[in-house]
Structure 1
Amino acid sequence: QTRFFACFATSLAAAAGGAFAANLFTLVIFYELLSLVTYPLVYHHEDEEGWAGSRKYLVYLMGASKSVLLAALALTYQIAGSLDFVPGGLLAGV
């Protein structure tokens, strides 16, 4: 139970870090951290169904972030020239 609450508290901290992110890169870093620290919450009961679900969870989240999220991050930086959050939107000056 201690592991559950430690991971839960860390996931809350990662979510708060993402909420206070000043740029898109920091938001992606906290999203990745949130994905990793919520992994133990999925398999907390440590039965076969939990392990199977946790493997799918990790593959889906890591697969999506590596293939789509990083490509979108690079494309946004290439188009906008910056990843900072600004009033009016990231692509307001484009």
Structure 2
Amino acid sequence: MTERLSGRVEQLESRVDRVENRMNGLASSTQVSELHARLDGMDSQINTRIDGMSSQINAHLDGMENRFNARLSDITRIGIGIALLLSAVGLIV
């Protein structure tokens, strides 16, 4: 009788171990799913920030390009003015 009870206890302990392993597996897969969801959320936040920063950088570059073109235009006008003045004075033929 003791041997039978001992065998039954071992069977029950084995079942408990299997159930615990399944529960741990479920907990792990739930944790993995939660981690994936968190990573996806963080990825979206990062992409949103990158898009915002990219827009700011592009706007800044456009402004710099406009200022550069304006300065280049000013320099060209000054150069033409100097050439006309020198031509009028007779230093340039």
TM-score by length of 2: 0.34
Higher relative helix content:
2
- Larger RCO of the pair (alpha carbons < 8 Å, separation 6+): 1
Larger Rg: 2
TM-score by length of 1: 0.34
